[in-house]
Structure 1
């Protein structure tokens, strides 16, 4: 599959591919923790480590938009109380693995997609990618997961899917979520085609604004000496191939409806405002772990806890709603 790096850059230009979009920025994760309310609902110490962004009302029991809307959001849009999470990116520090600092998390909606028909439904849960993928050929192609050095040549990818040469700026990750939904069952799917050239949704589903993660990691701070060859990096789930993202919708209903209109015109950023304020307003509260006494943010402790799992989990991948996960 050809790289989407150049395509992603093209979508930001006025050259004709880009459609209207909105963007929400979040400075850093508000917590790192070994929980996953979609794959392991109600269960602690079953998941690998994740970095969480957005509403701090999330716990292992979170299921609804209303629950998230009762929290404090770290997003620079007061109407976005969604929660977003990804496997924590780690760098090798001596004999331990530590989280790589995040420079910025951005959630783009409908960048390069066609006009949406319906808003993202309340209570929608989605996963993009495959947490079990250990090789490139087992990744979910529709998620278009990609790792590259922002604005510089990171060389060919190493055996684990990371750039083989140190990044002079940030290590950047892109990940695309399903853009079709059955509004009754909340089952999601991808349109035929690819970013910038999407076609129709599967029968029984309608187009909604497409979510795309764009995350910049400060590898210069974590690894000031750089690297050449195999990058001293891994995800909490393994190599870059297991990259995935999770999302539970927490947008207020009025802002979610406004987002549909934001996808109508080509080549234009559209601010999505709502009853709680305007896009771009920085948080006035401090997001924090809602359940600090349970779970861990330490990678070694999370690995130890996972080794005690007694059951095989039923998880999600973006290719299909339910898959068997190890």
Structure 2
């Protein structure tokens, strides 16, 4: 395959937004000893992708080199396997998480490490599968690892707030939280209230109303955990709404929130702000794929674009008003 060319979208430097993306013909990549070569069937665009392009995430996330083919959440079919790959063979349908340093998702073919590739059952479409890695696992890890929610309803009851609940992470967070012993309050725009309720939220606030802006639960409940998917909310808004040992899990931490977190720790404050960055593993990815298979979890697709119009999906993601995930299909 390496001698053949494929259609891909890349950028050559930081900045430029959708206009900085270029359609190119480049060689099909060759899998290394522990990698699989995939025919990409669907790729999802995440905010982290265009934040990498903007240079906002340096030095944590940056391309290994330019030009760079962005996007790291894909689903597809295995075409070829490296010599040390044991669990996959040509023809297998999979979901994979690609390295943020190497990227590669906005293309007809991509290579993925075997350890970050999982089987995709026939019940899970390529679009549904590609939506999962970053967004769903951010919600899953935040709820299970940081908030201590047990998804079999065996844990202690918790009151949970999910902000920006109609976004990619928020929609998964609502659904996953309701698999636990929880009462879920959510914030979103007015047009998405019915959708968020349909996914299990017990209370939904329009973030543009006074109560929504203040994050006040309609039932007066104090939150044990806030899964914070939005930006720009000061600690002073969270603090009066938290229970005695309440935590705000900040999924888009800024310099200011990192400083607030440090101060809370240094002063031994019971109420904590926890900056969070997801670590994707094959085990956790397989777990959420099976939740979709079992009908316990849905991937909500906002829109789908052909690879030839991938820059339009990129622009929509940057606009910040998608309901659920934006998918590109070669």
Q: State TM-score, norm by structure 1.
A: 0.22
Q: State TM-score, norm by structure 2.
A: 0.22
- Which protein, 1 or 2, shows the higher relative CO under an 8 Å CA cutoff with sep ≥ 6? 1
Q: Which has the larger Rg?
A: 2
Q: Which has the higher helix share?
A: 2
